[in-house]
Each structure stands twice: as C-alpha cells, then as structure tokens.
Structure 1
Amino acid sequence: MTLVETGTVSGGETVLFWVIAPIMVIASLGLLFARRAVHAALSVVLVMICLAILYVAQDAPFLGVAQVVVYTGAIMMLFLFVLMLVGVDAADSLTETIRGQRWVAYVAGLGLALVLGGVVAASTLPRPAGLTAANIDSNPVGVARLIFSDFVFTMEITGVLLVVAAVGAVTLTHAERLRPKATQRDVLESKMRAYAAGKGGVGQLPAPGVYARSTSATVPALSGTGEPIEASVPRVLRIRGQERTIGDVSPETVAAVARGRAGAGTAGIHGGDATRAVGQSGLPGMRGEAPPTPQLPGSPGAPATLEKASRLALEHTDGAAKEEEL
C-alpha cells in the first residue's frame, strides 16, 4: 500500500486516501466554523490523527508516530488545558478593530493557497524516485538526513522562533504592573462610585429561580415589579445560550404578572390571592392554626410509640451501666 518506484498508486492506498481525505476536510471545516474553541481544537486533533495515518501509508512511520505523540498528544492537549484555564465563558469580539484587515487576510490567504498549490504540483508532477532508496537505513535516519542537511537553515530559524516565543511568553506573564494592585478598599470605592452613577449595585446579585416554581440556575429571578433580572443567571450560562425564560418553566407566573399590570391587583403575583395562598404559622400576632404542642412520654394522650421508645431507651441505658460496673 505504498507509492512504488514507477509512480503508480496502489488500489489500497487509493481507498485509504478517499476514506481519510473527506474526514480531514470535514474536520478542517469544523475548525473554521466551530463557535466554541474546544470544538475547534478537537477538530484539529482529528485532522492530525488522519494526517498521521497518511504518513504511515507513505512509508514514513516515524513521522506518523511523531505526529500523534508530539502534536496530537502533547501540543493539542496543552491547547485544551489552556482553554480550560482561561474558561469556556470567554467571549470573542467580532468587531473589526483595524480597518482593512479583512482584505489583507483575503490576499494573504490567496497567496498561501498559491504557494501550497505550487508545492503540491512540484511534488506530484515529477516522477517520484521511490521511498526504498530514501529509507535504505531507516525512516528516522532518512528524516534526520534531510532535516540536518538540506533544511538545516529552516530548522535553525524554527528553533530561534520557538526560543523567542518562550521568552516572550515569560516576559509578558511576569511583566510589571501598569498600575498599583487594587486593594479591597479600592474595589469598594469603585463599586460605590459606579452605584452613585447608576451603573450597578453594591450588594450581591439575586439568586436565580422563580419562587417555588423553579430553582434552576438557568432561570432568572423576578424583581418586585415582576421584571426578570438577567444578572441573576450566571454569566457562563448566558454566554452559552443556556438561559431559559420564565415562560418556559412557569407560564402561570407570566400570566399572573400580566394580570397585575392590567390592574387586577388581587390576581397578581403580589396580590391578595397570592397572600391568602400562603399558610400562616399561628405564632403570636399572626393568624392561622395554632402550632402543635409536643407531647412527652408518659403524658396523657401520648402515642404508644413514644412510650415504647422511652422504655427501650431506659433499658439500653441500664444495660450499659451494668456492663461498666462489671
């Protein structure tokens, strides 16, 4: 299933290519159109695995194993780890900050497509020399000979770029602060200034959920006027689009709010009907049934179960005391 010296492709290799190629194309499109960064990273993992299979099919087992171990197993897992640290709730801004950058990107993409097309044409149009002579020692030896002889300058440039990227990441991470670190007092004063300007509140956000109708974190709370409080739903759920409306979980609450706004005060969520529907405990100063009076064992009217439980407890206590004496 390898490319022979005559330049022909075997039937097995053709079947393998037409099975792997559509999967790679679909995964590449998933990378471009995925709305979540995690899904895009998983699409890249699938592309790399398919590429490793093609490497092995072309008598390059070392490249195939390195593709899986180095790229798929290490670098992509590092990407996913960073995404988990940053958080899936990070929203990307689609606003074009630099004017004209899209046209520059289009031209650069077209140039990259022409370069890749030229590389593919240069590698397929001449008659292939065969892989037997290239891998006469072994595949790793053949790869090393090409890297450190014909492409030594490219390898040096790649090494310099990796070192610069690592040093730059460390420098940006441990850079000096542009402004003093905000203390707890500074945070409090900023919140008070925002509250005075009408841009926020100083207290904690209300808990999500609509009374006893729902305790889900995806449902917003209701204000005193019957308006849903969007800030009561966690920001992560709102960005993911998992927030539900009050009408989804409690249509009767929406109807009660509408009746209250229409002037039917007794039928609203804070009307007389809602007040009368709440049971009262009967405590001093409150209407309702009297609270139950606890009955001690041995008192008149005490249930037989209480008498039995009391007798068993006394027997157990006496038995424990006798064991301690022995």
Structure 2
Amino acid sequence: MILTAAGTVLAQTPLAQQGVVGTGETVVFWILGPLALLGALGMVFARSAVHSALWLVLTMLSLGVLYMAQNAQFLGFTQIIVYTGAIMMLFLFVLMLVGRDASDSVVEVLRGQRLVAGVLGVALAVLLTAGLARSLEGVVPAAPLDPWAPGGGAAGGLGQVIFTDYLFPFELTSALLITASLGAMVLAYGGKGRKPRMSQRETVRARFRGEYARPSPLPGPGVYATANSVATPALLPDGSVAEDSLSEILDNTPVERLRPDREAVSGEVESPDPHALTGHSPQRSGSEESSEQRERGGEHSSGENPGSARGGDGDDHGGNGSVPTVDGDVPENPGADSPEEVRQ
C-alpha cells in the first residue's frame, strides 16, 4: 500500500502533468525497476513453486506502481487488485491444496537471509521517504482528468481504445482465458472417473480373497515339436489338456488347421516315429532276430539258392574276394566293377 500511495502522489506532481520526468519519479523507477527484474529472475530460477509465485507477486506489485507513476492509475490498480490480489492468491491457494514438503517451512535454505531482508527493507523505506519528501515540494492541485480521454488513464478512455483499435488482440486474450479455464477443469476432473491401478501385491491379495475366477494366472500356450504355434494348448502335470491356456478368441475361431494339432497333443491320433528325424531304426530284441533267421532258413531250403548252385563258381572266383552270404546276396566287393560281374 505504501508503494501504491507513492505512485499515486508522484503521478499528481506538476512535472508529471507536464510530461517531464521528475526526481521522485526517477527514484521510484530505479528502485522498482530492479525489483521487478529481480522478481522475474527469482520466479524462473526458484526451486519451490510457492517461492516462484511470491517472486511473481513482487514483480506485479512493482509494475502496478510504475503504471501509477506514469499517470495510468486505472492500469496500476487493476494490476495490483486483479492480478496480484486475485490471480496470484488463487495460484497460492492451489499450491496449498496440492501440498508441498513440510520441511520447507522449518529449514532455512539461505543462512542469514532474515538479517539481509531487514536491512534491505529499512534502506527501501528510507529511499521512498526521501523521494516522496523531495517530490512533494511545491505541489499545486491539478485539474481533474477527462475520464474519456485515452491519454488520461481512466477507465472510459482505456475501454474506448481497447474496443476500437485493439479489438482483435482483446478477443484473442479472451480465447486464451477460456482455453486455460477448460484446461483447469480437465486437469481437476479428468482422473476422478478412472479406476486406480492396482499394484502387484494388491492383485495377489484380491486373487486369494476370491475376487477373481482363479487365484493363479492363466497358463501360457504350449509350443511343441509337432505344432510350433501359440494356438497349441498346454498340458497339465497329469497329461491332460489345459483348457485355460488358449485365448477365448482362438477357441471361438473356426480354424480347421488347428484341429490336427490339438488332436495330436491330446493323444487322439498316433504320434510320429521318434526315430524319423535321426534316420536310425530301433534296435530289435534277440527273439525277433532269431525268428527272422529261421524264416529265412526255411526259404533257402525250399527254393533254389543261387549262391549254393554256383558254389564252384564262387570258389573259382575266390580271387575276386566275393563271399556269398547266408541269404544268397553278394556283399559289396571293392575289386569288382558291378554286382553282375561278382555273380559270374
């Protein structure tokens, strides 16, 4: 309030009425100008949101007094009442509702800041008192200003200028304010209708309380050598098919090529030969081999045996290294060109 009164008094001095910068106005400018700049820098670089808002309040107060010193009383009071008294206080209320760290109020970040603030406050009061005392010398009452004159700084002249020469910027400002109001409403009420996301511990507790259909998660799909597909169901420890391992979308989709894979997994069709990939036949037992040899021996005794009929030839051609086998087949001879030459 002291700064506001000082600006109002300085605006009524004869030099201010004549458009000449006086000593008091100069002193006020060199005091409030650095304060406004300091408040702007503090607002930008402050770590706490509350401190940033307070620095902005200092800047707005300085600007309001400077408006009054420039013979613009309406703008000065509007700057102080509307912006500083209403908007910035609203910002502070929002910050108080949102909350801040309780340690900010008990921990002094800058040591000795109270002493420095007291010294600067006393110095500012002395400068303002000296400036006012010097500017009030020889003050005479001035004629009242025309409220409809644009240069008078009154509300009538300011409104006339805004709605004639600056109508488009004024409408842009109103659109900006409406957008800010809608954004505030979205931020305030946007997250209330959403269900909070449960943590992993809360989900496990809810499962065991019976809030879900089963206490454990669904089993994953099975991938086997016979069907490399996520549409293949998994198997339970007892060998049965886990019906919950497949998605409902896959179960409800009539895909014909998935049926053979499911039948193979469930055991409804014969499984393939396990030795099909290696190419080796399974080892037979001794009883199977002896029975097969007896069957082959009966065939040799009943029918002609080319190996026995040509036994002499085999002896004559013993130099070729061909030895007839039991079943009459001639084994491979490295020295012969073909099996026909071995038989001759």
- Answer whether TM exceeds 0.5 for this pair: no
Q: Could you say which structure has the greater relative contact order, defined with CA pairs below 8 angstroms and 6 or more residues apart?
A: 2
Q: Which TM bucket (shorter chain)?
A: 0.3 to 0.5
